């Protein structure tokens, strides 16, 4: 596998997916990033912003902006946690719940399009591979990975 091809393919998949979702959800006035938050709230309602940021590996400021926007648009509400009065938990409104099927339907169409021609076993292998890579990426300590590279380049200079 050529590294340049891997980077190019990941980039294409990411950009095209973002473009598709942006167009698919334009009619309900949500952006790609807002859609990602909604998709994850459907399975994790009652989570707080910090937990959501950690789960998605998105910085707290970006999460706060998207959550504020979704709240302003009427898709979710923030409620003070009974356990910790400083924390606010996120809950879908009726509007947010009503768009669930449309959001998932559009996403299903995109995935079906991307995987057309693949048998079920291949789809499962691809999904498991992506899941494994995403988990490893989420646990990556960049400085440690780059440290070896720095050590190798210093050896070359000696």
Give the whole-angstrom CA distance, residue 10 versus residue 18.
12
* Residue pair 96/41 in contact by the 8 Å Cβ criterion: yes
Q: Residues near 112 by Cβ (< 8 Å), separated by ≥ 6?
A: none
Task: Work out the burial of residue 117: count CB atoms within 10 Å of its CB; fewer than 13 is exposed, 13-18 middle, 19 or more buried.
Answer: exposed
Specify the DSSP class assigned to residue 26.
Answer: G
Q: Residues near 102 by Cβ (< 8 Å), separated by ≥ 6?
A: 28
Give the whole-angstrom CA distance, residue 150 versus residue 153.
5
Report the percentage of the chain scoring pLDDT > 70. Answer: 92
| Confidence category of residue 87, pLDDT binned at 50, 70, 90 | confident
Read off the pLDDT of residues 10-21 as tens digits, 9 standing for 90 and up. Answer: 999 999 999 999
Read off the pLDDT of residues 106-158 as tens digits, 9 standing for 90 and up. Answer: 999 999 999 999 999 999 999 999 999 999 999 989 899 898 665 555 555 54
Give the whole-angstrom CA distance, residue 135 versus residue 147.
21
Domain ranges of the chain: 3-114, 118-158
CATH for the 3-114 domain, from 1.10.10.10, 3.40.50.150, 3.40.50.720, 3.40.50.1100: 1.10.10.10
């Amino acid at each position: 596998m050529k590294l340049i091809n891997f980077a190019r393919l990941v980039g294409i998949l990411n950009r095209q997916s973002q473009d598709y979702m942006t167009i698919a959800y334009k009619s309900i006035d949500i952006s790609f990033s807002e859609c990602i938050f909604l998709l994850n709230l459907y399975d994790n309602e009652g989570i707080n912003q910090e937990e959501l940021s950690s789960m998605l590996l998105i910085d707290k400021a970006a999460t706060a902006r998207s959550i504020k926007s979704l709240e302003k648009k009427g898709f979710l509400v923030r409620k003070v946690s009974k356990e910790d009065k400083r924390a606010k938990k996120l809950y879908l409104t009726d509007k947010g719940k009503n768009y669930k099927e449309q959001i998932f339907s559009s996403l299903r169409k995109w995935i079906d399009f991307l995987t057309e021609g693949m048998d079920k076993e291949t789809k499962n292998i691809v999904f498991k591979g992506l899941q494994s890579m995403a988990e490893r990426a989420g646990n990556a300590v960049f400085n440690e990975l780059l440290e070896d590279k720095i050590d190798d380049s210093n050896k070359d200079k000696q």
